[in-house]
Amino acid sequence: MSHPLGDDFHYHGFPLEGAKAIYVRAVIDPSVTAAHVQALGEAIRRCNEAMGARFLLVPDNGDYTITFLEKRGNESPFKETPIGGGITLLIPGNPQVYARSDMQGLAYYEWVNIWAHEIGHCFGLADHPKDDINSVMSYQVSGRWLLSPSKEDVDSVAKLHGLKDMKVRLSDLDGAENIEAVWHYDRYGSKGWTTWFRKFIGRVPDALVFEPYETYWVQAKAEGLLGLRVPLAVAPGMNRWAYL
């Protein structure tokens, strides 16, 4: 279900306000039936993977909050807008996402799609009535099969918030000027490829894109802070650093 203000309504539910990235607290209300909690968790996980670390939905403290609830079709807000499997009320900074608990015969993937679609509204995406777009915001067949924001959706969210894309590069990190070199820490417990020594290049390169939940070794010039949302202390020399 689109926002009551119409399909052309775009809302920056989580403005960056000068920050490089934010946490969004995801609160699952007890009204969400146990059978649908797993689908909601899957939608949140897939949204985080698609959006990267610029916006990250977490269960604990956050800069903003999304509350997920369920109501029957004869209860608000569905009795006022009695169509659709979900609806998002865009309360500034703290939107409320509702799913209809009395929808019968829906498969697991359909519940994931409903939750993912409504999460898209929270980040400013409007409904797409056409089937010629690869978007979780479309109610047509292609959109109903998607379980997370598509690349087009993610690019649109980035544009709405004034970003080139959702990628996080070395130059985006606080304290990047304190880094001389970066190594990827591979899954075999050793340092993998080496990345761009600053002393040879003379500047922080934009080519390196960090992958969320990966671990890196960084060589710092001096004691300082390094990070995106929550900078971590690094000492001179080699530091094992987890990009979360």
Q: Is residue 12, in this structure, part of any structural domain at all?
A: no
Looking at the fold, whether 77 and 121 belong to one and the same domain comes out as: yes
User: Cβ distance 158 to 164 under 8 Å?
Assistant: yes
d(CA 59, CA 24) in angstroms, rounded, equals 8
Show which of 126, 160, 194 is a domain's final residue: 160
Whole domain around residue 57: which residue ranges?
A: 22-160
Residue 131: per-residue pLDDT: 64
Q: Is residue 15, in this structure, part of any structural domain at all?
A: no
Q: Decide: helix, strand or coil at residue 154.
A: helix
Return the structure tokens found at 181.
Answer: 């070199």
Q: Is residue 233, in this structure, part of any structural domain at all?
A: yes
Show which of 107, 139, 160 is a domain's final residue: 160
Query: Which residue matches tokens 């009395």?
Result: 102
What is the block-wise mean pLDDT of the chain (244 residues), using blocks of 10 residues?
Answer: 39 68 91 95 94 85 91 90 83 88 92 95 84 81 88 89 84 86 70 48 59 81 87 87 73
Q: Which of 221, 224, 215, 213 is nearest to 238 (CA)?
A: 221
Looking at the fold, whether 145 and 34 belong to one and the same domain comes out as: yes
Looking at the fold, whether 40 and 86 belong to one and the same domain comes out as: yes
d(CA 165, CA 154) in angstroms, rounded, equals 8
11: amino acid identity, one letter: Y
Residue 46: per-residue pLDDT: 94
Show which of 136, 160, 184 is a domain's final residue: 160
Looking at the fold, whether 154 and 38 belong to one and the same domain comes out as: yes
Residue 187: per-residue pLDDT: 62
Helix pair angle (151-160, 34-51), 10° resolution:
70
d(CA 54, CA 85) in angstroms, rounded, equals 28
Residue 132: per-residue pLDDT: 62
Strands 224-226 and 232-234: what pairing?
antiparallel
Looking at the fold, whether 138 and 228 belong to one and the same domain comes out as: no
Looking at the fold, whether 179 and 89 belong to one and the same domain comes out as: no
DSSP annotation string for 204-220: --S--BPPTTEEEEEEE
Looking at the fold, whether 222 and 147 belong to one and the same domain comes out as: no
Residue 205: per-residue pLDDT: 54
Looking at the fold, whether 179 and 138 belong to one and the same domain comes out as: no
DSSP annotation string for 24-63: EEEEE-TTS-HHHHHHHHHHHHHHHHHHTTSEEEESS--S
Q: Decide: helix, strand or coil at residue 123.
A: coil
Q: Is residue 13, in this structure, part of any structural domain at all?
A: no
Looking at the fold, whether 217 and 139 belong to one and the same domain comes out as: no
Domain tally, the chain:
2
